[in-house]
Structure 1
Amino acid sequence: MDILYGIMKETWAITVEMSPYLLFGFLCAGLLHSISSKNHILRHLSKPSFASVVKSALVGVPLPLCSCAVIPVASHLHEEGASPGATISFLTSTPNTGVDSIAVTYGMLGPVWAIVRPITAMFSGIFSGVVTNCFSQQDATSTAEDPPQQQSTKTWRNKFVSIFRYAFFDIVHSIGKWLLIGIIIGGVIAFALPQSFVDQYLHSPVVSYLAMIIIGLPMYVCSTGSIPIAVALIGKGLSPGAALIFLITGPATNSATMSYVWGKMGKKVLVAYLASIIITAISFGFMFDYFYPHINTMIHHHHHGHESSPFAVACAVFLIVLFVNAYIPRRKKTSCCSKK
């Protein structure tokens, strides 16, 4: 019982700390969803050029799609004429971060991480897209045109309801289960993993970097759900650079994504895709450790220096209600993230 209580206590502490930022991120995602136009996006991604790769990465960074939910979106973009490079750029940058995970990253890890993580995601998307275009061939004259746009007749009330539904129901339905798993894993690590484990087995940068890559690449974890895991590992002594590598490789891909890329774009593109992510992860992880030697202390104080406020507790309770609501109606349905 003591073990269960300890895990539940750590899990609750993580939930309380991240809930206000997570709910704010969900709301921002709802607003973003209400103003985005998929057809307009497609028109800019059709040519196999550097510009289309950059645009794809920029579009993907703020979108709150997990690495499973992003597959059908990326597939649609590709089928509608987006170049392989733009498709891979979107497939890499989108699940790596989002407005929700940026908000939670700021709340749990601080402003430095909240800046570095989306920049890393954007660079990872651009790099993977450029490399993919070098290994694939597509008609450079392929274009995608916007179909006629219909005038929106939504009232302000309908728009508000649409934003609220997407922010607190659709997104939670998509990533709620995996986010909850990430929070629980973070609680287990924070309680059960001894400090000596990291010091004994992951003290070497080479070993810790490789371990995070091996764990992260095939694993499914959403960009927000990966944060409590990274925070718990940092609290046990893992270097910030190694934690950043996990935050890059974990959300960026999984076995389902790799299977999709292989089946739709070929083995060469898959190799280029994975190699780009690994190179980016190691490079940014190394630079992060090199330029921020005292980041462990900063993160430790940031993570453990806050007391639970009534507002944060209320947000945590509301988040749990959203989780329950997301699970019960979906028990007899198949969500995109369950198709592994």
Structure 2
Amino acid sequence: MTTQWDKHDMTFLQGRRLRRPRMASWSRDLVRENTLAPSDLIWPIFVVEGQNERQPIKTMPGVERLSIDLAVEAAKAAHAEGIPALALFPNTDPSKRTENGREATNRDNLVCRTLSAIKDAVPEIGLVADVALDPYTSHGHDGVMDGDEILNDATVAILVQQALVQARAGADVIAPSDMMDGRIGAIREALDEEGLDNTIVLSYAAKYASAFYGPFREAVGSGARLKGTKLSYQMDPANSEDAIREVEQDLAEGADWIMVKPGMLYLDICRMLKDRFDVPVFAYQISGEYAMIAIAAEAGALERDAAMAESLMAFKRAGCSGILTYFALDMARKING
């Protein structure tokens, strides 16, 4: 038999209409929990030698390698839309790729010249420099090798020199993505000793050995050169507790910010790290994640702008302070109307 209390309770539940705040745009705006702004975005740019040179990347529709002069123009466009920072990645001339990646430490290399050119033209924009050897090695790995083994400490010594030339060239943020043990502490110590103590260190602390890096490797020219896999130094996609240990170590060594890569497939890691550590968490919407949306949109499987916006909002919902995304300029323009 239905009691008087049951009737009252049912009446209360019938009175609740969760759709009410969704009925009008103004009320949706009022109760929206997360918002996306151009200031949340970092735009990764691939650079090549040459003048007025654009090279489309076939697996990343809408993304191009740019010569330094065009990278400067891209920086101006990004700054005009309120994007706070760019991340630079080189496609190094094959003749300069060696077993030990020594071109990474050349103060006049492609990245260093691009950093200086952009900083001179657009001093207000932040510049993030990737620290890893894969764009410079003949074998496509992030470090120097002895047979099939990546030599951790020998690699770290080179990464320190790479970080120093980048910081001197104008990098505001040094972002080690190599996953060698101890590189954050060594880089932080070297920067401080050289009077570059204001340089931010953004650690790719939780970088997984993902199948979704393929288009990026094409863009920087390392994919066809890669011998073997990176499973001995990048993280196992099956593990999450490893991410906690990696972040704890990198923060103890002096990292200012931490990165999760890939992003969309590892939003659980982003949320876990944000909840556990009192530090800005960044995520990289990587090349394969971008390509899934861009290529599906070209095929008519989904609406590009809506999918772009939804995918980026997911990072904000997961607690990310900033997002590296190839959609950055398009998204900023959409937000700005």
Same fold (TM over 0.5): no
Provide the TM-score with structure 2 as the length reference: 0.24
Larger gyration radius, structure 1 or structure 2 = 2
| TM-score, normalisation: structure 1 | 0.24
Bigger proportion of residues as helix: 1
**Larger RCO of the pair (alpha carbons < 8 Å, separation 6+):** 1
